[in-house]
Amino acid sequence: MSVSRTEVQASVQPDRATRPAGSRKITFTGWLMAPGITLLGVLSIIPLVMLILMSFSKVRLLGGLRLEFAGLDNWARAFGDVELWKSWATTLAFFVSTLGIELVLGVAIAVALNRLVRGRGLVLPLILLPMFVAPSIVGLLGRYLLDPTFGLYANLLQSIGITQDVLGHPVSAFAAVVLMDVWEWTPLIALITLAGLSGVNPSVLEAASLDGASEWKKFWHMVLPSIRPILLVAILIRSMDAVRYFDIIYVTTNGGPADATKIIPVRLYEAAFRFFDLGYAAVIGIMMLVLTILIARFFVRLMGEKEEN
Amino acid sequence: MRTRAPALTRRQMLRAGGLSLAALGGLTACGTTTATTPVPTLAPGTDPWRRFAGTTINFISENTAPTAAIAANLQPFTDLTGIRVNIVSLELQALVQRVALDLAGGQAQYDVIYADPYQVLAPYAAGFADLREFAEDPSYPGVEGGFEDFIPTQLEACGTFGDSDAIYALPYDCPTMIWQYRIDIFEKYHERMSADLGFDPTPSGERTWEEYYLIAEWINQNVDEIPYGTGHQAKQHDSLMCDFSNVLWSYGGDYFANGREVGLRGTEDPGPCLLDSEEAVAAAEFYDRLISIAHPGSLGWDWDGVGAALRAGQIAMAPNWHEFAAPNESELPGKVGYAPMPRGPKGTSNHFGGTGIGISATASGVRRGAAWLFVNWATAPQTQLDNLKSTAGGGTPTRTSVYELPEVNAAAERPTELPNMLTAETMSVAWEDEKIGLRPKIPMWNECDTALFTEVSRMLAGQKDPRQAMSDAKNRIDGIVARGWAA
Amino acid sequence: MSAAPAVDAARNFGPALSLRPKAKNLTLGTLLTWVFVAAALLWTVVPLLWMLLGSFKGSGDVTSADPMWFFTPTGQNYVNLFTGANNLSPYLINSIIAAVGSAVIATVLGTLGGYGLARTAFKGKKSLSFWFISTRMAPIAAVVLPLFLVFRFAGLLDTLPGLILAYLSFNLPFAIWIMSAFFEAIPPSLEESAKVSGCSPWQTFWYVSLPLTKAGMVTTAVLCLVFAWNDYAFATVISGPNSQTLPIAATQLVTQTGVDWGQLTAIGTIVVVPMILVGLAVRKWLVTGLTLGAVTGE
């Protein structure tokens, strides 16, 4: 069952009252935070500054790292690179299709599980399994299942007349990596939605039923609006992760065929660690970072809304 | 809701920014003052093979059959020298990444490096030690037979870069693409195929690519026991460039002008790309047609898929690396034959994929010396002979003297104890000067390669016609070359 | 921090009854539901089951053209993994040390930091929270690039401490954020009364708040463990011959001479099973953990 922690928080006496405003003295809680924040600072701010510096430089590796100032060269190249923009389009397509399918399936599974009176305790853990699988293993497993000579799923597809190599054609390869992502992360959406569903007021639904509302109407007009905030959380979490991970594609198609699965993280990885075009890679990195930060901002705002009111 | 200006964070950021600038200064300084500790001198009266006993070195290699054989056969080296060797074997792409990162650092983690001529040697030649330094030093055991014993083309292709006389690596393996086919199928259907096609279908250096296409199509239609005539390594991958290049060169196309020199010695400035030539477009048109009748799995196979498909009876023939002869023979004894690649208008072209092993320039002290002992040992005739006999993998020799041994010569005919030698006759043709295919040895090859195989992959997917694909590949490659090599 | 409004509803209306169908269409509705659930189960479980079965198949069976559901099981793949030249044990040990190390450090520092964050109100708090979340969610490819150069300078490449630090770059902000969510859920009255009865801030934290978030700490530790254990992108760049981890070992089985699917499915099983076990052990708090505290699922 879901419980908000907001109403609890509202009554916490912040220790702001106990010390003068603007005091520079580090408080007890400040000391508690210090080690974590210091370590995180080292691990995140130094790389960030390096990334920014690199994006304005020609980075030489051999014989030790050297940054030669290159002005806006990398940036100009990135903005003029047609292949890079194609990758952004691919990323967007990947993003929309994974998220779309995961949402629909995840909500459907959650609703179904929520209807189960018995057996949910047994079914739910099984449904959750894919979430714990390392993405690189998901990719390798996908290759095993889709191998045209011995793959279990390829075999099934062949028996219904699809004989082409799934990972060998742009559309089917794209669908395959999308479905691998869907396989891994739909359970997360289902889990989150299930938590939201348990908060839907049953007596209102009962009343609606007595009024003769159909199941679908009840779902669309009553259930869905009330779980919308939670779905938004799910979407934001998955969005940030979608920019973050690329293991599945890396071990299956590595961007091919015909660049159909070359999403931005794959292109960054390629620019950085295959071509050692580190300045250019840094530009792509910053672009991705900005996108993540925008999504994260939205997320934090969402979480802060209630508090401010 | 409105977030307050992040005063604290900004201050923190500025402070931390100063800090990392300082750190960066340190980085830079650290990089430029790299120095290697000298190798300790040889005490008089010591066995030159034993002078580094007790040292441990790291060897990073692609996960190839020859390295599998070396890994399984390290004991003689350790017995001889007292040196322990850690072998890290990785997929080529991962290897390239690791080596580049390692060379960038200044202190070598990997002492002995599998130096792919195109993806490792060309971009990082400056990161390798000149092996003449060791070979000419009398305090080391000499190179048996001298550098002259290595097959000259291979020594040049794997060991040198540009105008320099330096030898950066010694030829360690020499996989080369040749035509591999099912003898039993070709014999069984010989009469019918000859009658239907109007020529002798037996694979040999006389067959043309057009004939190869017709044979594949005939097998598709008429042979029940094998689903497809031909198979290819046509995944969007390095392997696609390898497979396509055989056709490209035999049709008279090339990547750059003076392609042979660019392939053999390498250069930093190869000039304009020639992929939009009529010959290249004709090659692309043929390749597109060929793949359209190949096993559908071809579009998903890189170099591990084709061999497996041939051995599994999925395809009757394929262009593939000659070192696959050993696994072919163990799965289908007596059933796989070898021939040079089919001819195009310009002749036959057999893509060379050999690699040398070299020593990181930053390897220092005892590890530097120990690394040389290992390189010397691993490429020595006796070791190559042992690898040829290995059951754990193994390739074919890179030294002429090994091919001259009677037991090796005898192994070229069945029954044989050294199945990789079954390709010997074919190889003697494939390695001839005008018949060996050498891709450009330029520092930015990795990125050019990616541009090419991406465009070819788009062509195979039907998104571009061959002319468009070649012209786009040319433009991308020209752009990459014009930018020059940064690292 | 706040949860979505919908969640509050539960407080008022108690346990979930919600969409339970009315008695008259119970049979058909339930039947359809079960059919759908069964399909979902097949979809999620079959690949994993196939991997598990594959790991016990002999070399011919694992790539047999006709999928084999029944076969003579063999442990040979596992034996091969732990014997011979490419023995897996060092990889396994590296994986354990790196994942457990980063999980423990992240949980300890995250508990302290999370308590601090939950119990302080200061001007930059929102920015700080925002910084944590963007650090946690930063694209791996963008982080690993400068991190590599920094680690090179610091001599941390190819070392387990280096790998642990790299994992802390995402596990630590996660742990701080999540632990602060757990601390905020503790009724403040408890701490108030502790303070009144003369406890020092540390005693209040140690004897009152900390025991109440045991579940939170375990959840945080488990999730950090899963994230680190499953990592592939950091390990390909940061680790080396002395610090290779299991996912790297798995991809190394894809070699030029072919893929040993028997061993690969066996490694897959070794990577996956422990995470499933620990993950399911904390499933009550998974929602909280995986939504960064935006939804509480208890």
The CATH code of the domain that includes A263 is 1.10.3720.10
Which residues in chain B have their CB less than 8 angstroms from residue A308's CB?
Answer: 1
Examine residue B286 and state whether it is found in any structural domain, yes or no.
yes
C-chain CB neighbours of B64 within 8 Å are 255-257
Task: Report the phi/psi class of residue A97: left, alpha or beta, with left for phi > 0 and alpha for psi in -120 to 50.
Answer: alpha
Q: How far is CA C214 from CA A2, B126, B366, B367, C118, in A?
A: 19, 56, 53, 51, 16
Cβ-contact A256, B237 below 8 angstroms: yes
Q: What mean pLDDT do residues B69-95 have?
A: 89
User: What is the average per-residue pLDDT within C89-97?
Assistant: 94
B26 CB near a chain A CB, below 8 Å?
no
B156: in domain: yes
- The residue range of the domain holding B363 is 49-175+354-404
Residue whose C-alpha is closest to residue B180's, from B225, B221, B229, B218: B229
Which alpha helices (H) appear in A65-147, and where do they start and end? Answer: 73-80, 82-115, 120-128, 135-146
Q: Do C254 and B91 touch (CB under 8 A)?
A: yes
Size of interface A-B (CB pairs under 8 A): 148
pLDDT digits (tens, 9 = 90+) for C244-253: 899 988 887 7
Find the helix or strand (DSSP H, E) in which A291 lies: helix A278-308
Helix (H, G, I), strand (E, B) or coil at C91: helix
Do B448 and B360 share a domain, yes or no?
Answer: no
DSSP summary character for residue B74: -
Q: What is the pLDDT of residue A115?
A: 85
B197-242: pLDDT as tens digits: 999 999 998 999 999 999 999 999 999 999 999 999 999 999 999 9
Q: Please tell me which residue, C278 or A210, carries the higher pLDDT value.
A: C278
Question: Residue B357: beta bridge partners?
Answer: B114, B170
Q: Which two tokens stand for residue C140?
A: 């791996």
- Per the domain annotation, does A59 fall within a domain? no
Model confidence at B31: pLDDT above 70: no
Taking the CA of residue A6 and the nearest CA in chain C, the distance in Å comes to: 5
pLDDT for the residue numbered A7:
34
Quote the Cα angle for C59-B296-B209, to 5°. 110
Neighbours of C298 (CB within 10 A): 12
Q: Are the beta carbons of A59 and B487 separated by less than 8 Å?
A: yes
Residue A117 lies in a domain: yes
Residue that is written with structure tokens 């390295």 in the block = B67
Pair (B136, B218) in one structural domain: no
DSSP C39-58: HHHHHHHHHHHHHHHHHTS-
Within 10 Å of residue C214's Cβ, how many Cβ atoms?
10
Q: Is residue A120 part of a domain?
A: yes
A247 shares contact with chain B (CB less than 8 Å): no
Asked if residue B326 and residue B299 are part of one domain, the reply reads yes
In this structure, what DSSP letter does residue B256 have? B
Assign C291 a pLDDT band (cuts: 50, 70, 90). confident
The DSSP-derived string for B156-185 is HHHH--TT-----EEEEE--BEEEEEEHHH
Nearest C-alpha of chain B: how many angstroms from C258? 5
The CATH code of the domain that includes B74 is 3.40.190.10
Rounded Cα distance, C229 and C246, in Å: 8
What distance separates the 2 farthest-apart alpha carbons in chain B? 86
B318 three-state secondary structure:
strand
Name A68's Cβ contacts closer than 8 Å, sequence gap at least 6.
Answer: A57, A58, A59, A60
User: Per-residue pLDDT for C23 more than 70?
Assistant: no
Q: Is C158 close to B307, i.e. CB distance below 8 A? A: no
Domain total of chain A? 1
Q: Are residues B322 and B394 in the same domain?
A: no
Domain boundaries, chain C: 87-252
The confidence score (pLDDT) of residue B105 equals 63
Q: Which residues in C lie closer than 8 A to residue A140 (C-beta atoms)?
A: 250-251, 254, 264, 268
A44 within some domain: no
What domain count does chain B have?
2
Q: Does residue A225 have a cis bond before it (omega within 30 degrees)? A: no
A2 CA: distance to closest CA in chain B (Å): 25
B-contacting residues of A 75-134, CB under 8 Å?
A: 83
Say which residues have a Cβ less than 8 Å from residue A157's Cβ, sequence separation at least 6.
A163, A166
A27, with CB counted inside 10 A (0-12, 13-18, 19+), is middle
Query: Given an 8 Å threshold on Cβ–Cβ distance, is C153 in contact with B71?
Result: no
- Give the mean pLDDT of chain C: 84
Q: Do B374 and B277 belong together in one domain? A: no
Name the least confident of B188-192, B243-247, B298-302: B298-302
CA B373, chain centre distance (Å): 23
Nearest chain C residue to A33 by CA distance is C113
Fold designation for C87-252: MetI-like fold (1.10.3720)
pLDDT at B17 over 80: no
* pLDDT on residue A24: 57
Rounded-to-integer distance, Cα B101 and Cα B222, Å: 52
What residues in B contact A170, CB-CB < 8 Å? 461, 463
In a domain, B81, yes or no: yes
d(CA B396, CA B409): 12
Cα(B247)–Cα(B249) distance, integer angstroms: 6
Residue B373 Cα, gap to closest chain A Cα (Å): 25
* Same domain assignment for residues B159 and B127: yes
Q: B116 and B247 share a domain? A: no
Give the number of other CB atoms < 10 A from CB of residue A181. Answer: 27
Residues of A whose CB is below 8 A from C20 = 115, 117, 202
Q: Enumerate residues 9 to 68 of chain A having a beta carbon within 8 A of any beta carbon in chain B.
A: 41, 45-46, 49-50, 53, 58-67
Q: Is the model's pLDDT at B13 over the cut of 70?
A: no
Q: Strand locations in chain A, DSSP E?
A: 57-60, 66-69
Tens digit of pLDDT for each residue in C180-235? 989 988 888 888 888 888 888 888 888 888 999 999 999 999 999 999 999 998 99
How many other C-beta atoms can be found within 10 angstroms of the C-beta atom of residue A197?
24
CA A212 to chain centre: 40
pLDDT at A13: 40
Shortest distance, CA C79 to any CA of chain B (angstroms): 18
The larger pLDDT score, comparing residue B346 to residue A204, is at B346
- E runs forming strands in B256-341: 315-321, 336-339
The answer to whether residue A45 is domain-embedded is: no
Enclosing domain of residue A154: 82-308
Angle at B305 between CA B300 and CA B308, to 5 degrees: 145
Q: Which chain A residues are closer than 8 Å to C46 by Cβ?
A: 152
Q: Is C150–B23 a contact, with Cβ atoms under 8 angstroms apart?
A: yes
* Long-range contacts at A161-166 (CB < 8 A, ≥ 24 apart): A163/B296, A164/B296, A165/B296, A165/B297, A165/B298, A165/B299, A165/B300, A166/B300
Q: How confident is the model at residue A224 (pLDDT cuts 50, 70, 90)?
A: confident
**Ordered strands of the B56-62 beta sheet:** B84-90, B56-62, B112-115, B355-359, B169-173
Same-domain status, B155 and B187: no
The answer to whether residues B251 and B365 belong to one domain is no
